[in-house]
């Protein structure tokens, strides 16, 4: 596969995964903002949502004061925000168009129809349907597109899709953890009791990582922080755990580049994340140093993203950038 096509296909998958993660985060944030602990401070969860996406500064520069309505518009509808839901669907479709001949009819139709439908989203539509309905619609469209990938030829394209999805999922999960697990949630001395604000925050984290149902199936009990972190970080069979996505990213890169052609710097960046995750043994995280651990994790996943993009472009890695910055500099061809 040509470098340009590989890059476009990877970004197509990244934008789709980002749209799904954004829709889920928006629904979770909307729910959090209605809880009693945020009475009189409904903007606080929305600030966190912007922080997860790396866009607090960009939002305040453009819009000033943070309000739920303004953030919703920014995250879902804003044509000028490169990481809005609208822009993610547009970015996925634009990158897919350059690799149209590599995609099946079903895959292209699913993705293109999603984009055509997304163009009808505006403030009136959002007000009529509600946040939850729009978020569910977006996630369902992403599921449909992902399902259509099953009929693609087993060549480089599925590997490129795997790389894009795993990159975006790993980056998003690391940022969710860094934002959600701070303050008292990073304190091992704070009891996590059902019905308390701390417990509801852990519930929101599992929902935002799409692991709330998986947790109930795996543990069938009230949320235990150590078990929740294991499910998110190192669970060997959870498709959304970081360790599984780093393995999928490595497999996808090997399928794209071959074992001999993948740059050593890229493999080293992956190895550093894997080694960091190996330190996350049960009981090893909730020791008062969780914030530092998660900050390092975010830096390591950032480095992986930079190295993978550099490898796709056959150029040296760019300076350290956030996920938001990477989006702003990505150009579909």
* pLDDT greater than 70 at residue 319: no
Within 13 Å and on the Cβ side, how many CA atoms surround 74?
Answer: 23
- Name the more confident of 224 and 185: 224
Whole-angstrom CA distances from 187 to 17, 255, 282, 287 are 31, 41, 16, 8
Q: How confident is the model at residue 143 (pLDDT cuts 50, 70, 90)?
A: very high
232-241 own/partner pairs: CB under 8 Å, 24+ apart = 232/173, 232/177, 232/205, 232/206, 233/177, 233/277, 233/280, 234/277, 234/278, 234/280, 234/281, 238/211, 238/214, 240/169, 240/173, 240/209, 240/210, 240/211, 240/214
Q: Which of 175, 147, 35, 22 is nearest to 85 (CA)?
A: 22
**Mean pLDDT over the full length of the chain:** 89
| Mean pLDDT within 211-215 | 95
Q: How confident is the model at residue 249 (pLDDT cuts 50, 70, 90)?
A: very high
Q: How confident is the model at residue 207 (pLDDT cuts 50, 70, 90)?
A: very high
Q: What backbone torsions phi and psi does residue 253 show, to the nearest 5 degrees? A: -65, -40
- CA distance linking residue 198 with residue 212, whole number of Å: 16
Q: Are 71 and 126 in contact (CB under 8 A)?
A: no
Q: According to the model, what pLDDT value does residue 189 have?
A: 72
Residue 294, burial from CB neighbour count under 10 angstroms (0-12, 13-18, 19+): buried
Q: According to the model, what pLDDT value does residue 283 have?
A: 55
The token pair at 163 is 């790389």
Q: Which of 65, 31, 59 is nearest to 45 (CA)?
A: 31
Whole-angstrom CA distances from 23 to 186, 257, 325 are 26, 32, 20
Q: Are 305 and 325 in contact (CB under 8 A)?
A: no
Q: According to the model, what pLDDT value does residue 325 have?
A: 43
- Name the more confident of 333 and 79: 79
Q: According to the model, what pLDDT value does residue 333 have?
A: 39
Q: Are 268 and 285 in contact (CB under 8 A)?
A: no
Whole-angstrom CA distances from 228 to 129, 136, 172, 196 are 33, 24, 17, 17
Q: According to the model, what pLDDT value does residue 50 have?
A: 96
- CA distance linking residue 257 with residue 181, whole number of Å: 36
Q: According to the model, what pLDDT value does residue 120 have?
A: 93
Q: According to the model, what pLDDT value does residue 329 have?
A: 41
| Contacts of residue 56, Cβ cutoff 8 Å, sequence gap at least 6 | 47, 50
Q: For residue range 155-195, list pLDDT tens digits in order.
A: 899 999 999 999 999 999 999 999 998 877 777 677 889 99
CB count within 10 Å of CB 183 equals 11
| Mean pLDDT within 220-246 | 91
* pLDDT greater than 90 at residue 226: no
Q: According to the model, what pLDDT value does residue 317 have?
A: 35
Alpha carbon 38 to chain centroid, angstroms: 25
- CA distance linking residue 245 with residue 169, whole number of Å: 7
Q: How confident is the model at residue 318 (pLDDT cuts 50, 70, 90)?
A: very low
* pLDDT greater than 60 at residue 331: no
Q: Are 92 and 146 in contact (CB under 8 A)?
A: no
How many residues are present in the chain?
A: 333
Q: For residue range 251-310, list pLDDT tens digits in order.
A: 999 999 887 788 999 999 999 999 999 887 645 566 667 888 899 999 999 999 999 999
* pLDDT greater than 60 at residue 196: yes
Q: How confident is the model at residue 324 (pLDDT cuts 50, 70, 90)?
A: very low
User: Which residue is it, tokens 């950032």?
Assistant: 302
- Name the more confident of 317 and 74: 74
């Amino acid at each position: 596969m040509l470098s340009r096509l590989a890059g476009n296909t990877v970004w197509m998958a990244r934008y789709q995964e980002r749209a799904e993660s954004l829709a889920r985060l928006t629904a979770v944030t909307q729910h959090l903002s209605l809880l009693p602990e945020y009475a009189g401070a409904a903007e606080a969860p929305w600030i966190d949502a912007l922080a997860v996406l790396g866009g607090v500064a960009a939002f305040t520069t453009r819009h000033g004061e943070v309000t739920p309505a303004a953030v919703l518009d920014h995250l879902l509808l804003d044509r000028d925000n490169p990481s809005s839901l609208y822009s993610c669907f547009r970015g996925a479709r634009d990158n897919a168009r350059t690799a149209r001949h590599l995609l099946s009819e079903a895959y292209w139709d699913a993705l293109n129809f999603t984009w055509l439908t997304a163009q009808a989203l505006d403030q009136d539509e959002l007000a009529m349907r509600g946040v939850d309905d729009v978020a569910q619609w977006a996630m369902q469209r992403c599921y449909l597109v992902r399902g259509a990938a099953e009929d693609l030829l087993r060549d480089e394209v599925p590997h490129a899709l795997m790389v894009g999805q795993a990159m975006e999922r790993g980056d998003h999960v690391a940022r969710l953890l860094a934002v959600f697990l701070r303050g008292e949630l990073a304190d091992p001395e704070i009891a996590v009791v059902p019905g308390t604000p701390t417990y509801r925050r852990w519930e929101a984290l599992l929902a935002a990582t799409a692991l709330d149902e998986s947790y109930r199936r795996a543990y069938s009990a009230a949320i235990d922080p150590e078990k929740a972190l294991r499910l998110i970080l190192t669970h060997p069979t959870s498709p959304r755990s970081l360790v599984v996505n780093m393995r999928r990213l490595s497999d996808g890169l090997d399928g794209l580049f071959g074992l001999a052609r993948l740059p050593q710097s890229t493999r080293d960046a992956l190895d550093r994340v894997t080694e960091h995750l190996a330190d996350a043994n049960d009981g090893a995280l909730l020791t008062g140093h969780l914030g530092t651990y998660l900050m390092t994790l975010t830096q390591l996943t950032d480095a992986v993203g930079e190295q993978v993009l550099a490898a796709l472009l056959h150029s040296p890695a760019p300076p350290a950038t956030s996920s938001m910055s990477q989006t702003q500099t990505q150009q579909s061809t």
